[in-house]
Structure 1
Amino acid sequence: MGCTEPIAVAYAAAYARDVLGMRPERIELRVSANIVKNVKGVTVPNTGGMRGLEAAAIAGVVGGDAARKLEVLQSLDPGQLEEVRRLVQEGMCKVSLAEGIEGLYIEVWAFAPPEEKAASATETAGVPVQASAHVVVEHTHTGIALVEKDGRLVFDRNNAKAADTSGQSTMELRRDECAGCDAAPRESSMAFVSADRHEYAFLNVRDILEFADTLRLRDIEAPLRAQIELNQAIAQEGLKGDWGVSVGKTLMKYRDASDVRVRARALAAAGSDARMAGCPMPVVINSGSGNQGLTVSLPVIEFARTLKVGEEKLLRALAVSNLVALEQKEYVGKLSAYCGAVSAAVGAAAGIAYLQGASYEQLSAVVIDSIATADGILCDGAKSSCAAKIATALESAMLALELGMHEGRRFRDGEGLAGADVEETIRNVGIVAKNGMRATDAEIIRVMLER
Structure 2
Amino acid sequence: MDPNDKIYQDYLKILKEELIPATGCTEPIAVAYAAAKAREVLGALPEQCTIAASANIIKNVKSVVVPNTNGLKGIAAACAAGIVAGDASKKLEVLADIEEDAKARMRTYSDTHSITVVPADNDIIFYIAVTVKSGADEATVVIEQFHTNITSVTRNGETLYELSCESGEDSGLTDRGGLNVRDILDFCDHVRMEDISEVIGRQIDYNSAISEEGLKRNYGANIGKVLLRAYGNDVRTRARAAAAAGSDARMGGCEKPVVIVSGSGNQGMTASLPIIEYAKEFGATREQLYRAVCLSDLVTIYQKMGIGRLSAYCGAVSAGCGAGAGIAYLNGGDYDVIAHTIVNSVAITSGIICDGAKPSCAAKISAAVDAGILGYQMYQNDQQFFSGDGIVTKGVDNTIHNVGVLAKEGMRETDREIIKIMLEKTEPSASVTN
Shift of 1:91: 4.6
Whether 1:90 and 2:112 are equivalent positions in the alignment is yes
Whether 1:247 and 2:253 are equivalent positions in the alignment is no
From 389, 399, 402, the equivalent of 2:377 is: 402
After superposition, the C-alpha distances for 1:44-102 in whole angstroms (9 at most, x for unaligned) are: 00000000100000110000001111110114322122332233233521110014424
Select the structure with the greater relative contact order (CA < 8 A; seq sep ≥ 6).
Answer: 2
> Is the CA contact (8 Å cut-off) linking 1:60 and 1:73 kept in structure 2?
yes
> What amino acid does structure 2 have at the position aligned with 1:137?
I
Whether 1:14 and 2:36 are equivalent positions in the alignment is yes
Whether 1:149 and 2:155 are equivalent positions in the alignment is yes
> What amino acid does structure 1 have at the position aligned with 2:420?
R
Pairs within 5 Å for 1:2-401: 2-112=24-134, 114=135, 130-158=136-164, 186=167, 195-197=169-171, 199-257=175-233, 259-401=234-376
> Is the CA contact (8 Å cut-off) linking 1:365 and 1:409 kept in structure 2?
no
In 1, Cα distance between equivalents of 2:177 and 2:218: 41
In 1, Cα distance between equivalents of 2:157 and 2:413: 36
Shift of 1:185: 6.1
Shift of 1:447: 1.1
Aligned residue number for residue 424 of structure 2: 450
- Rg larger for: 1
> Is the CA contact (8 Å cut-off) linking 1:103 and 1:333 kept in structure 2?
no
Aligned residue number for residue 411 of structure 2: 437
In 2, Cα distance between equivalents of 1:446 and 1:84: 29
In 1, Cα distance between equivalents of 2:417 and 2:122: 14
Equivalent position SS for 1:132:
strand
Q: Which runs of 4+ in 1 moved over 3 A?
A: 184-187, 195-199
In 2, Cα distance between equivalents of 1:185 and 1:397: 35
After superposition, the C-alpha distances for 1:150-177 in whole angstroms (9 at most, x for unaligned) are: 110111111xxxxxxxxxxxxxxxxxxx
Equivalent position SS for 1:134:
strand
> Is the CA contact (8 Å cut-off) linking 1:65 and 1:75 kept in structure 2?
no
After superposition, the C-alpha distances for 1:341-372 in whole angstroms (9 at most, x for unaligned) are: 00100110111111011110111000000011
Whether 1:415 and 2:421 are equivalent positions in the alignment is no
In 1, Cα distance between equivalents of 2:124 and 2:366: 28
> Is the CA contact (8 Å cut-off) linking 2:84 and 2:109 kept in structure 1?
no
> Is the CA contact (8 Å cut-off) linking 1:38 and 1:382 kept in structure 2?
yes
Question: What is the number of residues matched between the two proteins?
Answer: 401
> Is the CA contact (8 Å cut-off) linking 1:133 and 1:147 kept in structure 2?
yes
- Larger CA deviation: 292-301 vs 410-419: 410-419
> What amino acid does structure 2 have at the position aligned with 1:345?
G
Equivalent position SS for 1:24:
coil
In 1, Cα distance between equivalents of 2:179 and 2:63: 33
In 1, Cα distance between equivalents of 2:73 and 2:126: 19
Shift of 1:419: 1.0
> What amino acid does structure 1 have at the position aligned with 2:154?
E
> What amino acid does structure 1 have at the position aligned with 2:274?
P
Equivalent position SS for 1:372:
helix
> What amino acid does structure 1 have at the position aligned with 2:201?
R
Aligned residue number for residue 426 of structure 1: 400
Equivalent position SS for 2:95:
helix
Could you say what the CA RMSD is over the residues aligned between the two structures, in angstroms? 1.3
> Is the CA contact (8 Å cut-off) linking 1:200 and 1:329 kept in structure 2?
no
In 2, Cα distance between equivalents of 1:46 and 1:238: 16
* TM-score with structure 2 setting the length: 0.90
Equivalent position SS for 2:118:
strand
> What amino acid does structure 2 have at the position aligned with 1:251?
L
In 2, Cα distance between equivalents of 1:308 and 1:409: 27
In 2, Cα distance between equivalents of 1:82 and 1:216: 47
> Is the CA contact (8 Å cut-off) linking 2:344 and 2:375 kept in structure 1?
yes
In 1, Cα distance between equivalents of 2:382 and 2:317: 22
Among all aligned residue pairs of Structure 1 and Structure 2, give the percentage whose two residues are the same amino acid.
Answer: 48
> Is the CA contact (8 Å cut-off) linking 2:327 and 2:373 kept in structure 1?
no
Equivalent position SS for 1:110:
strand
In 1, Cα distance between equivalents of 2:338 and 2:399: 13
Which residues of structure 2 form unaligned runs of 5+? 1-22, 426-434
In 2, Cα distance between equivalents of 1:101 and 1:236: 40
Shift of 1:312: 0.7
* TM-score with structure 1 setting the length: 0.87
In 2, Cα distance between equivalents of 1:389 and 1:235: 16
